[in-house]
Amino acid sequence: MEKTFTFDSDLTVNRLGYGTMQLTGDGVWGPVADPDNAVKVIETAIDHGVNFIDTADAYGPFYANLYLRDALKNRPDNHVMVATKVGNTRQGPDVWTPVGVPAYLRQQVEMNLFTLGLDHIDLLQLHRVDPNVPLADQIGVLKDMQDEGKIKHIGLSQVSVDQLKEAAAIAPIVSVQNMYNLSNRQDEDVLDYADAHHIAFIPWFPLATGELIKDATLTNIAQKYNASPAQIALAWLLKRSDVILPIPGTKSSDHELQNIQAQDIDLSQADFDALKALAK
Protein backbone atom coordinates (compact mmCIF):
# COMPACT_ATOMS: atom_id res chain seq x y z
CA MET A 1 0.00 0.00 0.00
CA GLU A 2 1.35 3.38 -1.01
CA LYS A 3 1.18 5.92 1.81
CA THR A 4 1.66 8.93 -0.48
CA PHE A 5 0.00 10.34 -3.59
CA THR A 6 1.73 12.52 -6.16
CA PHE A 7 -0.18 15.33 -7.85
CA ASP A 8 2.83 16.75 -9.67
CA SER A 9 6.60 17.18 -9.28
CA ASP A 10 6.06 19.68 -6.44
CA LEU A 11 3.10 18.15 -4.63
CA THR A 12 3.38 14.71 -3.06
CA VAL A 13 1.21 14.26 0.03
CA ASN A 14 0.54 11.66 2.68
CA ARG A 15 -2.69 9.99 1.63
CA LEU A 16 -4.42 10.30 5.00
CA GLY A 17 -5.46 13.93 5.19
CA TYR A 18 -7.74 16.08 7.32
CA GLY A 19 -11.06 17.79 6.58
CA THR A 20 -12.11 21.00 8.34
CA MET A 21 -15.89 20.68 7.99
CA GLN A 22 -16.44 19.83 11.67
CA LEU A 23 -14.65 23.01 12.79
CA THR A 24 -17.84 25.07 12.65
CA GLY A 25 -21.08 25.47 14.55
CA ASP A 26 -24.16 23.28 14.27
CA GLY A 27 -25.33 22.73 10.74
CA VAL A 28 -21.85 23.77 9.48
CA TRP A 29 -22.95 27.31 10.34
CA GLY A 30 -21.16 29.93 12.40
CA PRO A 31 -18.03 29.60 14.51
CA VAL A 32 -17.03 26.55 16.49
CA ALA A 33 -17.52 26.80 20.26
CA ASP A 34 -13.75 26.85 20.96
CA PRO A 35 -11.80 28.54 18.14
CA ASP A 36 -8.43 28.06 19.88
CA ASN A 37 -9.05 24.32 20.04
CA ALA A 38 -10.00 24.28 16.36
CA VAL A 39 -6.60 25.73 15.48
CA LYS A 40 -4.92 23.27 17.85
CA VAL A 41 -6.57 20.28 16.16
CA ILE A 42 -5.23 21.38 12.77
CA GLU A 43 -1.78 21.97 14.27
CA THR A 44 -1.89 18.47 15.78
CA ALA A 45 -2.61 17.03 12.36
CA ILE A 46 0.25 18.96 10.76
CA ASP A 47 2.65 18.08 13.57
CA HIS A 48 1.99 14.38 12.97
CA GLY A 49 2.57 14.32 9.24
CA VAL A 50 -0.75 15.38 7.73
CA ASN A 51 0.09 17.59 4.78
CA PHE A 52 -3.16 17.47 2.79
CA ILE A 53 -6.01 19.51 4.28
CA ASP A 54 -9.42 19.96 2.70
CA THR A 55 -11.64 22.93 3.42
CA ALA A 56 -14.28 25.11 1.73
CA ASP A 57 -15.47 28.69 1.86
CA ALA A 58 -18.95 27.31 2.62
CA TYR A 59 -17.85 25.84 5.96
CA GLY A 60 -19.07 28.43 8.40
CA PRO A 61 -19.10 30.19 5.95
CA PHE A 62 -15.37 31.01 6.07
CA TYR A 63 -14.77 30.10 9.72
CA ALA A 64 -12.98 26.84 8.88
CA ASN A 65 -10.75 28.73 6.45
CA LEU A 66 -9.85 31.25 9.13
CA TYR A 67 -8.87 28.55 11.64
CA LEU A 68 -6.79 26.85 8.96
CA ARG A 69 -5.09 30.15 8.12
CA ASP A 70 -4.06 30.59 11.76
CA ALA A 71 -2.72 27.03 11.96
CA LEU A 72 -0.70 27.49 8.77
CA LYS A 73 0.76 30.73 10.15
CA ASN A 74 1.78 28.86 13.30
CA ARG A 75 3.48 26.14 11.24
CA PRO A 76 5.36 28.14 8.57
CA ASP A 77 8.02 25.46 8.07
CA ASN A 78 5.55 22.69 7.24
CA HIS A 79 4.43 22.58 3.63
CA VAL A 80 0.73 21.74 3.55
CA MET A 81 -1.26 21.22 0.38
CA VAL A 82 -4.54 23.06 0.81
CA ALA A 83 -7.61 21.95 -1.12
CA THR A 84 -10.65 24.18 -1.01
CA LYS A 85 -13.97 24.37 -2.80
CA VAL A 86 -16.34 26.83 -4.50
CA GLY A 87 -19.80 26.53 -6.02
CA ASN A 88 -22.03 26.20 -2.94
CA THR A 89 -23.81 29.07 -1.23
CA ARG A 90 -25.20 29.10 2.30
CA GLN A 91 -28.48 30.56 3.51
CA GLY A 92 -28.45 29.08 7.02
CA PRO A 93 -27.65 25.95 9.03
CA ASP A 94 -27.72 22.78 6.90
CA VAL A 95 -28.78 24.78 3.83
CA TRP A 96 -26.62 24.42 0.72
CA THR A 97 -27.48 25.90 -2.70
CA PRO A 98 -25.23 25.37 -5.73
CA VAL A 99 -24.39 28.54 -7.68
CA GLY A 100 -22.04 28.16 -10.62
CA VAL A 101 -22.30 31.58 -12.25
CA PRO A 102 -18.74 32.27 -13.46
CA ALA A 103 -18.52 35.73 -11.88
CA TYR A 104 -19.57 34.27 -8.53
CA LEU A 105 -17.08 31.38 -8.77
CA ARG A 106 -14.34 33.92 -9.46
CA GLN A 107 -15.38 35.89 -6.38
CA GLN A 108 -15.33 32.71 -4.29
CA VAL A 109 -11.81 31.86 -5.41
CA GLU A 110 -10.66 35.35 -4.43
CA MET A 111 -12.38 35.07 -1.05
CA ASN A 112 -10.75 31.70 -0.43
CA LEU A 113 -7.36 33.22 -1.17
CA PHE A 114 -8.13 36.11 1.18
CA THR A 115 -9.48 34.07 4.10
CA LEU A 116 -6.80 31.37 3.82
CA GLY A 117 -3.99 33.92 3.51
CA LEU A 118 -2.60 32.27 0.37
CA ASP A 119 -1.32 33.68 -2.91
CA HIS A 120 -2.55 30.63 -4.83
CA ILE A 121 -4.67 27.55 -4.19
CA ASP A 122 -3.03 24.16 -4.69
CA LEU A 123 -6.32 22.39 -5.42
CA LEU A 124 -9.56 24.23 -6.20
CA GLN A 125 -12.58 21.94 -6.41
CA LEU A 126 -16.02 22.70 -7.77
CA HIS A 127 -18.08 21.88 -4.66
CA ARG A 128 -21.22 21.11 -6.65
CA VAL A 129 -22.14 21.38 -10.31
CA ASP A 130 -24.87 23.99 -10.81
CA PRO A 131 -27.41 22.34 -13.14
CA ASN A 132 -28.56 25.78 -14.30
CA VAL A 133 -25.15 26.78 -15.69
CA PRO A 134 -23.27 24.91 -18.43
CA LEU A 135 -20.45 22.87 -16.93
CA ALA A 136 -18.15 24.32 -19.58
CA ASP A 137 -18.76 27.80 -18.15
CA GLN A 138 -18.10 26.67 -14.58
CA ILE A 139 -14.87 24.85 -15.42
CA GLY A 140 -13.93 27.55 -17.89
CA VAL A 141 -13.65 30.31 -15.30
CA LEU A 142 -11.57 28.04 -13.05
CA LYS A 143 -9.29 27.31 -16.01
CA ASP A 144 -8.97 31.07 -16.58
CA MET A 145 -7.86 31.54 -12.96
CA GLN A 146 -5.51 28.59 -13.30
CA ASP A 147 -3.90 30.35 -16.27
CA GLU A 148 -3.62 33.47 -14.10
CA GLY A 149 -1.65 31.51 -11.48
CA LYS A 150 -4.28 31.71 -8.76
CA ILE A 151 -5.17 28.01 -8.97
CA LYS A 152 -2.63 25.23 -9.43
CA HIS A 153 -4.95 22.25 -9.89
CA ILE A 154 -8.68 21.80 -10.51
CA GLY A 155 -10.96 19.11 -9.07
CA LEU A 156 -14.65 18.22 -8.92
CA SER A 157 -17.04 17.06 -6.22
CA GLN A 158 -20.07 14.77 -6.34
CA VAL A 159 -19.95 14.09 -10.06
CA SER A 160 -20.43 11.22 -12.50
CA VAL A 161 -17.88 9.70 -14.84
CA ASP A 162 -19.54 11.52 -17.75
CA GLN A 163 -19.17 14.86 -15.94
CA LEU A 164 -15.54 14.04 -15.20
CA LYS A 165 -14.91 13.40 -18.89
CA GLU A 166 -16.75 16.56 -19.92
CA ALA A 167 -14.76 18.70 -17.49
CA ALA A 168 -11.46 17.07 -18.50
CA ALA A 169 -12.04 18.21 -22.07
CA ILE A 170 -11.85 21.81 -20.80
CA ALA A 171 -9.11 21.60 -18.16
CA PRO A 172 -7.01 18.86 -16.55
CA ILE A 173 -8.92 17.37 -13.59
CA VAL A 174 -6.71 15.95 -10.83
CA SER A 175 -9.27 15.04 -8.15
CA VAL A 176 -12.84 14.02 -7.52
CA GLN A 177 -14.55 14.22 -4.14
CA ASN A 178 -17.60 11.96 -3.85
CA MET A 179 -19.28 10.20 -0.95
CA TYR A 180 -17.66 6.82 -0.39
CA ASN A 181 -17.21 4.63 2.65
CA LEU A 182 -17.53 1.05 3.84
CA SER A 183 -21.33 1.05 3.72
CA ASN A 184 -21.99 3.38 0.76
CA ARG A 185 -20.03 2.57 -2.38
CA GLN A 186 -22.47 3.60 -5.07
CA ASP A 187 -19.71 5.49 -6.91
CA GLU A 188 -17.45 2.52 -7.59
CA ASP A 189 -17.45 3.47 -11.29
CA VAL A 190 -16.11 6.94 -10.45
CA LEU A 191 -13.41 5.43 -8.23
CA ASP A 192 -12.46 2.94 -10.94
CA TYR A 193 -12.18 5.78 -13.48
CA ALA A 194 -10.05 7.79 -11.05
CA ASP A 195 -7.85 4.78 -10.40
CA ALA A 196 -7.31 4.21 -14.11
CA HIS A 197 -6.40 7.87 -14.74
CA HIS A 198 -4.37 8.66 -11.58
CA ILE A 199 -7.03 11.07 -10.30
CA ALA A 200 -7.14 11.57 -6.55
CA PHE A 201 -10.39 10.19 -5.13
CA ILE A 202 -11.25 12.07 -1.93
CA PRO A 203 -14.11 10.32 -0.12
CA TRP A 204 -16.30 12.56 1.97
CA PHE A 205 -18.13 11.02 4.93
CA PRO A 206 -15.33 8.42 5.00
CA LEU A 207 -16.21 6.94 8.39
CA ALA A 208 -19.93 6.37 7.77
CA THR A 209 -20.64 7.24 11.37
CA GLY A 210 -23.74 5.60 12.77
CA GLU A 211 -24.97 2.04 12.53
CA LEU A 212 -21.93 0.77 10.62
CA ILE A 213 -19.69 1.33 13.63
CA LYS A 214 -21.88 -1.13 15.55
CA ASP A 215 -21.61 -3.86 12.90
CA ALA A 216 -20.38 -7.10 14.42
CA THR A 217 -18.00 -7.88 11.56
CA LEU A 218 -16.34 -4.50 11.81
CA THR A 219 -16.19 -4.66 15.60
CA ASN A 220 -14.63 -8.13 15.59
CA ILE A 221 -12.02 -7.18 13.01
CA ALA A 222 -11.19 -4.02 14.96
CA GLN A 223 -10.55 -6.12 18.06
CA LYS A 224 -8.12 -8.33 16.09
CA TYR A 225 -6.00 -5.29 15.26
CA ASN A 226 -6.42 -3.63 18.68
CA ALA A 227 -8.02 -0.74 16.84
CA SER A 228 -11.26 1.20 16.81
CA PRO A 229 -13.95 0.59 14.18
CA ALA A 230 -13.22 4.06 12.79
CA GLN A 231 -9.54 3.21 12.36
CA ILE A 232 -10.42 0.01 10.53
CA ALA A 233 -12.84 1.90 8.26
CA LEU A 234 -10.01 4.26 7.32
CA ALA A 235 -7.51 1.42 6.88
CA TRP A 236 -9.97 -0.27 4.51
CA LEU A 237 -10.22 2.85 2.36
CA LEU A 238 -6.45 3.18 2.18
CA LYS A 239 -6.14 -0.47 1.07
CA ARG A 240 -9.01 -0.21 -1.44
CA SER A 241 -7.06 1.98 -3.86
CA ASP A 242 -3.82 3.94 -3.87
CA VAL A 243 -5.66 6.97 -5.31
CA ILE A 244 -7.98 7.27 -2.29
CA LEU A 245 -7.13 10.19 0.01
CA PRO A 246 -9.42 10.00 3.07
CA ILE A 247 -9.97 13.31 4.89
CA PRO A 248 -11.64 12.41 8.22
CA GLY A 249 -12.56 15.44 10.29
CA THR A 250 -12.77 15.85 14.04
CA LYS A 251 -12.91 18.56 16.71
CA SER A 252 -10.63 16.53 19.00
CA SER A 253 -6.84 16.32 18.89
CA ASP A 254 -7.02 12.89 20.52
CA HIS A 255 -9.37 11.62 17.82
CA GLU A 256 -7.15 13.15 15.18
CA LEU A 257 -4.17 11.19 16.49
CA GLN A 258 -6.26 8.01 16.41
CA ASN A 259 -7.25 8.69 12.81
CA ILE A 260 -3.61 9.21 11.83
CA GLN A 261 -2.67 5.84 13.36
CA ALA A 262 -5.05 4.12 10.93
CA GLN A 263 -2.51 4.49 8.13
CA ASP A 264 -0.26 2.00 9.93
CA ILE A 265 -2.88 -0.77 10.01
CA ASP A 266 -2.22 -3.42 7.36
CA LEU A 267 -5.44 -5.33 6.84
CA SER A 268 -5.20 -8.91 5.65
CA GLN A 269 -6.88 -9.70 2.35
CA ALA A 270 -9.41 -11.89 4.18
CA ASP A 271 -10.40 -9.06 6.52
CA PHE A 272 -10.51 -6.58 3.63
CA ASP A 273 -12.87 -8.87 1.73
CA ALA A 274 -15.07 -9.43 4.79
CA LEU A 275 -15.45 -5.69 5.22
CA LYS A 276 -16.12 -5.23 1.52
CA ALA A 277 -19.23 -7.36 1.93
CA LEU A 278 -20.73 -4.77 4.31
CA ALA A 279 -21.74 -2.44 1.45
CA LYS A 280 -25.44 -1.80 0.97
Q: Which of 18, 59, 63, 180 is catalytic?
A: 59
> Who's near 71: CB < 8 A, 6+ residues apart?
39, 42, 43, 46
**DSSP of 137-194, one letter per residue?**
HHHHHHHHHHHTTSEEEEEEES--HHHHHHHHTTS-EEEEE-B--SS--TTHHHHHHH
- Alpha carbon separation from 59 to 11, 31, 202, 207, 226 (Å, rounded): 25, 9, 17, 19, 34
The DSSP result for 47-79, as a single string, is HTT--EEE--TTTBTTHHHHHHHHHHHH-TTS-
Per DSSP, 23 falls in state S
Beta bridge partners of 19: 54
Q: Answer yes or no: 193 catalytic.
A: no
Active centre residues (catalytic):
59
